[in-house]
Amino acid sequence: MTMCCTPRTSWGSRRWSPASPPASSRIRPPTPSMRPWAYHQQHGCKFTSVIPTNVFGPNDNFNIEDGHVLPGLIHKVYRAKETGTALSIWGTGKPRRQFIYSLDLARLFIWVLREYDEVDPIILSVGEEDEVSIKEAAESIVSAMDFKGEVIFDSTKSDGQFKKTASNGKLRKYLPDFKFTPFNQAVQETCDWFNANYSAARK
């Protein structure tokens, strides 16, 4: 099995499934997810795509401007703590996201390469019940970094999409007993890594 990693895709409120490509040529499906299906149909090759949700962990890109939400927040908290200033976070903190720890994702990648035998993509994510609000994520980071300053949620800034929920039902069908690292523990480990490797971290 060969796999490629693609971001989760949705078309407005309607999910697109590579297992049943659109009949209309006017709707062009996302190429990375379509490719494994096309190769299998034409050449019988076994490729697939894995689709993770929001990934975070050690060795991440902690750039505040173009990093993902959690590593960016970790760096912002670090700076606020170092400078003794308030921590300002865009939006109300209400939007909810599914976060997956990079070390858990690595274990799942190995499972896909060794055991997953489908061409159809598979979403690698914690369950819908484990969605975390941006406010909850920020509070977890603040605690992990031992930040004692003021936290401000700037409601003049856009929240963005409230939810981007993905189902991990297919993953659970294969791995019903897979244990994800508890969110707060994963955040603590990531913050500890960032503090210990600040000079070398991507930022």
pLDDT in tens, 50-108: 999 999 999 999 999 888 899 999 999 999 999 999 999 999 999 999 999 999 999 99
Q: Give the global pTM.
A: 0.80
- Token pair in block for residue 23: 């009949």
Q: What is the pLDDT of residue 75?
A: 97
Ordered per-residue pLDDT tens for the chain, 203 residues: 555 555 544 434 444 344 444 444 444 555 556 777 776 677 777 788 899 999 999 999 999 988 889 999 999 999 999 999 999 999 999 999 999 999 999 999 999 999 998 888 899 999 999 999 999 999 999 999 999 999 999 999 888 888 889 999 999 999 999 999 999 999 999 999 999 999 999 98
Q: What is the DSSP letter of 128?
A: G
> Who's near 196: CB < 8 A, 6+ residues apart?
none
Q: Are 47 and 119 in contact (CB under 8 A)?
A: yes
Is the CATH number 3.20.20.150 carried by domain 2-196? no
Per-domain residue ranges of the chain: 2-196
* CA separation for the pair 21, 62 (Å, rounded): 36
> Who's near 146: CB < 8 A, 6+ residues apart?
81
Q: Are 137 and 187 in contact (CB under 8 A)?
A: yes
Q: What is the pLDDT of residue 34?
A: 75
Q: Among 112, 105, 115, 92, which Cα is nearest to 53's?
A: 105
* CA separation for the pair 102, 73 (Å, rounded): 16
Residue 105 identity: L
Q: What radius of gyration, in Å, describes the C-alpha atoms of the chain?
A: 19
Q: What is the pLDDT of residue 24?
A: 43
